[in-house]
Amino acid sequence: MGMISNRVERHEIKPGDHIYTYRAVFTYSHHGIFVGGSKVVHFRPERNLKSIAETSSNLDDPTSNPCPTFPDCGFRQLNSGVVLSCLDCFLRNGSLYCFEYEVSPSVFLTRIRGGTCTTASSDPSETVIHRAMYLLQNGFGNYDVFQNNCEDFALYCKTGLLIQDIQGVGRSGQASSIIGAPLAAMISSPLKLLMPSPVGFATVTAGMYCMSRYATDIGVRSDVIKVPVEDLAVNLGWNGPQEEVAENETSDRQITTT
């Protein structure tokens, strides 16, 4: 277990694990659920056909570079951002990391970067995989970088927890970090006048940043409920499963997870 993240080797991950890799020189991390058979189910911003054609060289679009190894790599339902990719295409030559669950508060607070662990406990692997595969067929709503992103998807698959206040910050530790850092700096700014030492001011700011992340962790929040994946669309007001025509177009496409 590292101070920033938990890097692992491929042989160490198991079906049902929440994995992630860093993009754009560690600017952000991309998360998914490893479902076995070198396959990952993950969530990305949905793009319409026109956008895909205009940005076919975009590396974040798994359909822009067909996988030569797995025919079903890049599978997704029409108008859905939930994608099945092989592990190689998911990592895109990046390192592999495993998201940690049920960590102690002290460990959580020592993690400098958000989006690497949670105090919440994970459900059994078969439940996690069921949720991921169900959402692959039925979607996970609209992508939102702060309220419904790839980390939110993986966290839901692992825990089944849903935040009741959909107007607030989502489950994502990355989103909490983005919001928490400026908030901590803003709150601690008046204290700068009382603390001539830059070290003391930096310590207070760092402490507030860590506490703001901890307060938004799904393991300690009081506004979360357990929602069966079959009821997820109803609870969030999403559209139901994809239209029958979309299902007919993809029903004969084999998805291999073992």
| Separation between Cα atoms, residue 223 and residue 67, nearest integer Å | 41
Those residues whose C-beta lies under 8 Å from the C-beta of residue 240, and which sit 6 or more positions away, are 138, 233
Cα-flanking dihedrals φ and ψ of residue 187, to 5°? -65, -40
Q: Please name which of 252, 84, 236, 65 lies closest in space to residue 163, comparing C-alpha atoms.
A: 236
What is the per-residue pLDDT for 73? 95
Q: Which of 86, 89, 98, 150 is catalytic?
A: 150
Task: Give dist(CA 16, CA 11) in Å, integer.
Answer: 14
Known catalytic residue: 89? no
Active-site residue identified among 18, 42, 86, 210: 42
The residue assigned the tokens 């070290």 is 199
CA angle 236, 242, 248 (to 5 degrees): 165
Mean pLDDT for each consecutive 10-residue tract of the chain (258 residues)?
76 98 90 97 71 44 68 93 96 96 91 88 98 96 89 96 68 52 42 50 54 82 92 75 45 55
Q: Which residues contact 113 (CB under 8 A, 6 or more apart)?
A: 4, 5, 177
Predicted local distance difference test score (pLDDT) of residue 60: 52
End-to-end CA distance of the chain: 29
DSSP, collapsed to helix, strand or coil, labels residue 21 as strand
DSSP string covering 124-147: PHHHHHHHHHHHHHH-----BTTT
pTM (2 decimals)? 0.75
Sheet holding 39-43, edge to edge: 82-86, 39-43, 28-36, 18-23, 97-98
C-alpha 107/C-alpha 92 separation (Å) is 29
Token pair of 82, please? Answer: 């939930």
What is the predicted pLDDT for the residue at 146? 83
State the Cα angle at 43 between 217 and 33, rounded to 5°.
70
The residue annotated as part of the active site, out of 18, 30, 31, 117, is 30
Q: To which residue do tokens 């956008």 refer?
A: 51
Residue 150 annotated among the catalytic residues of the structure: yes
Can you give the pLDDT at residue 248?
Answer: 45
Whether residue 67 lies in the annotated active site: no
